[in-house]
Amino acid sequence: MMSSLGSKRNIKIFSLGLAGVFILSIGGMALMSMGDVANAAPNSDIGVVDQQEVLQNNQAVALQYQQKLQQTADSMKKDFDTKSAKMTDAEKQKLYNDMSQQFAEKRAAIEKDMQGQIESAAKAVASKKGLSLVVEKSAVVYGGVDITKDVSDAMTQQAAKASSAKK
């Protein structure tokens, strides 16, 4: 075979051509194994939701959250004023630190409740759309089905049901 190729120059050209064909075939196989990347997102079973947008679209939930926080703060301030009336400054400082910690715990509980409402709406939308996973939109670079509007609408419906049940 070497004698039919002739000179060293022809051998180098043949080797480069063979290497090029090999590289192109490996690249082609890699592209084919990736599948149809352009249409991956619409067929995804992963949903994404922007929780901040959901809250912005549902002012009733945000207002309810603020009201609960304000009621908690007012109640704790009144309690502090009553308890600290006959205390020394050192005792007041200790009471203030304790009550600040209690307020932080109550605020976390209120936030957890609000987060639970968003998660409940997201679960309902995910089951309707056949999604197996829903993640925060800010954590996703590419892909997934955006269900933010659907979650927002579901929360609006939940709020309407809750307000009609109270009446």
Residue 167 has pLDDT above 70, yes or no: no
Short-list 153, 166, 72, CA closest to 110: 72
User: pLDDT value at position 137?
Assistant: 87
How does pLDDT run across 116-126, given as a tens digit for each residue? 888 888 999 99
Asked if residue 19 has pLDDT above 70, the reply is no
Give Cβ neighbours of residue 51 (< 8 Å, ≥ 6 apart).
115, 118, 136
Average pLDDT value for the chain: 80
User: Is pTM beyond 0.85 here?
Assistant: no
Q: Determine the pLDDT at residue 102.
A: 92
Using one digit for the tens of pLDDT, what is the confidence trace for 64-88? Answer: 888 999 999 999 999 988 988 888 8
